[in-house]
Amino acid sequence: MPISRIALGRADEATHPEALKAALAEFLSTLIFVFAGQGSGMAFSKLTGDAATTPAGLVAASLAHGFALFVAVSVGANISGGHVNPAVTFGAFLGGNITLFRGILYWIAQLLGSVVACLLLRFSTGWLKTGTFALSADVSVWNALVFEIVMTFGLVYTVYATAVDPKKGNIGVIAPIAIGFIVGANILAGGAFDGASMTPAVSFGPA
């Protein structure tokens, strides 16, 4: 990856209509993803008496997040690229696909989308608490760090290979499906150990 491809961009990019439209798409896509993902966990806990950490709860979280991300990426793909994740945006910046200023705009939109989603959930559920990420008893911070690095790498690599790489060809059509699948699979793999965040936006809103 040539360093020359990494661009800072211009400060006035933050007020350009096309950039603002893309940021709005990231805000809405992240809101949809976090609202559905967090909401499914809250609903499962209410229906089962706070048993969201059971195997059935893990499967439910995997399916909800996978489906929600499929939709979120699909609706934002033609406007902003459908990142829905600050880590994906950072990878796109390093790959020379967006400028730093555009990336910062996306990050702000993604974090705000997560916060608004959690506020809407709390208000609409009578101020129930949104789920936060925690480590299981046998998992250390370093264990969780390795887990998150591997899962996030798998997600970003999938996004880059199916939705960003210009050599992807027709596989770009199934990008949202592949991205939803890898997130669902990673939740099944890591959800019981550290919650399987894979995105700072998902962790930021509930916190």
- CB under 8 Å to 142, separation ≥6 — which residues? none
Give 107-149 pLDDT, tens digit per residue.
999 999 999 999 999 999 998 888 878 888 888 999 999 999 9
Asked whether residue 5 is assigned to any structural domain, the reply reads no
Q: What is the pLDDT of residue 30?
A: 97
Total domains, the chain: 1
- SS3 helix, strand, coil % of the chain, rounded to 5? 75, 0, 25
Q: What is the pLDDT of residue 2?
A: 40
Asked whether residue 25 is assigned to any structural domain, the reply reads yes
Q: What is the pLDDT of residue 184?
A: 96
Average per-residue pLDDT in the chain? 87
User: What domain range is 71 assigned to?
Assistant: 11-204
Q: What is the pLDDT of residue 4?
A: 46
Average the pLDDT over each of 44-48, 64-68, 129-133, 165-169 and give the range with the smallest value: 165-169
Asked whether residue 3 is assigned to any structural domain, the reply reads no
Asked whether residue 1 is assigned to any structural domain, the reply reads no
State the CATH number of the domain containing residue 65: 1.20.1080.10
Q: What is the pLDDT of residue 1?
A: 36
Backbone angles phi, psi at 54, to 5 degrees: -80, 165
pTM: 0.88
CA of 73: how far to CAs of 27, 55, 155, in Å? 12, 27, 13
